[in-house]
Amino acid sequence: MKISDINIKIISDSRGKDTLEAELKSEDFSAKASAPAGKSIGTHEAFVLEPKLALKKFEEIKTKILSNEFESQENFDNFLIELDGTPSTSSGQAPSTSSGQAPSTSSGQAPSTSSGQAKSNLGGNLILSLSLAFARLKAKNERLELFNYISHQSLVVGRKSKNLLRPIFNVINGGAHATHRESKLEIQEFQVIPEVDDFNIAFSLGKIFYRKLGNYLKDKFGSENVFLGDEAGYSAPFKNNEEAIECLAEIIEKYKYPLKIGLDIAAAQFYRDGFYIVDGKKYSAEELKNYYLKLIETYNILSIEDPFNEEDFSSFALLTTELYGTNAEQCGKLVIADDLTTTNIERLKIAINKKSGNAILIKPNQIGTLTETLKVIKFAYENNWQAIVSHRSGETLDDFIADLAIGVGAWGIKAGAPAKPERLAKYERVLTIQNANIKM
């Protein structure tokens, strides 16, 4: 496919920060895609180039892209990677991001997999916006729905096609995503996950629960003390993490909703000098593991994400084994790696080898291209891990991840609370696909 023109512009994400949108054109079609940005950023993620600098970098490579013809997604993505010329895996020495925040670092228990900052020349954000826009353009050129185009990529052979896609609603925002100044929540996301076999019903259930929770929290804290966090979940002056979990559990029990609780711990955010600071107390990794086990047993928690520091493969493995024994891939619950693996196949290989979980969170902007993202998912499936496709806290109206989740047969999709346009766009795209009954 020959690209006839490319334009890159700066747009605002859901946090009001600058991000990039790419538009690619061929003779008959055009397609756009934008790059989201995280606030809680794993050390090993691809580098985010300041958008104004990314525009200058783009002008340096635009002619090179337009002068070539690309046979496939992999061909195009590899071309961008070669133009960038930096390692595909970060050393963990992360420069500051466009938001002015440096990704958190911590003492490592596993060696970094290469030297240099991944995609630090062109920026993972510039490369991703081009990669995803190319996918949309190529899908149009081949007269395919985007999710079908993704499904047809040979890289996703062996996908878990029988997975029932579950929405994972982040209904209480803590940690880096909290907006209430008096929130004492270290845990970053308090989620509800419907246990129904229809996405329409699951989405409706999520919206109903979200409204019930809003009213519950306003009665509990007062309307003036209930805000929306970065991902549209509620933020309020919770005094500790268990108080937030209890709120979810009480509503679920009262109305007998078919919902389970999930937690995104994002433990790297409260890891200090070899210890974890939770509810004002200092925990060792062993003590924190026991804390989680108590919560999981008490509240029948379905999934737990990033329970330890982003280098602590061993503690991930100990928790996984203690919860599920030696057959973690066969159990119904999930220990999810996000900051631990950052959608990077080399990090995932370590996690699988050490049995550090049974599921990986997939965020395309962590690695920078669709091709690399699909390779990670394929490798996860080949090793009996699940994949959950996820948004970022700084989102746009781009709904690409909905097609990605369906195209690869993901276990679930995380797109925040069922509120705010940039979150709803993803869930509603899933509904559009499923309600149209479009064949894979």
In angstroms, the CA 52 to CA 367 distance is: 21
d(CA 134, CA 142) in angstroms, rounded, equals 12
Amino acid in the structure at residue 371: T
Instruction: From 223, 131, 238, 136, select the one nearest 182 (Cα to Cα).
Output: 238
The CA–CA distances, whole Å, from 426 to 229, 326, 418, 420 equal 18, 35, 10, 11
Using alpha carbons only, give the angle 362, 367, 370 rounded to the nearest 5 degrees: 75
Name 22's bridge partners: 8, 33
Active-site residue (options: 21, 23, 45, 231): 231
**How many residues would you count in the chain?**
440
Query: The tokens of 19 are what?
Result: 């991000």
**Torsions phi, psi for 281 (to 5 deg):** -115, 155
- Angular region, 96: left φ>0, alpha ψ -120 to 50, beta rest: beta
**Contact assessment for residue 337 and residue 110, using Cβ atoms and an 8 Å cutoff:** no
Cα–Cα distance between 245 and 240 in angstroms, integer?
Answer: 9
Using alpha carbons, list the distances in angstroms from residue 326 to 196, 197, 349. Answer: 28, 28, 18
**247: which 2 tokens?**
């709120």
User: Strands (DSSP E) along 143-237, which ranges?
Assistant: 166-173, 189-194, 227-228, 234-235
Nearest CA to 163 out of 297, 334, 36, 417 is that of: 334
Residue 428 bears catalytic tag: no
Distance CA 326, CA 376 (A): 23
Per residue, the 3-state secondary structure of 68-91, as one string, reads CECCCHHHHHHHHHHHHCCCCCCC
Q: Which residue has the tokens 């209930």?
A: 226
Determine contact, residues 202/194, Cβ cutoff 8 Å.
Answer: yes
Q: Which amino acid is at 39?
A: K
Instruction: Point out the catalytic residue in the list 39, 355, 363, 378.
Output: 363
Contacts of 340 (CB under 8 A, 6+ apart): 42, 306, 308, 310, 311, 312, 313, 316, 347, 351, 356, 357
| Type of residue at 319 | L
**Is 59 noted as a catalytic residue in this protein?**
no
Which active-site residues does the annotation give? 231, 363
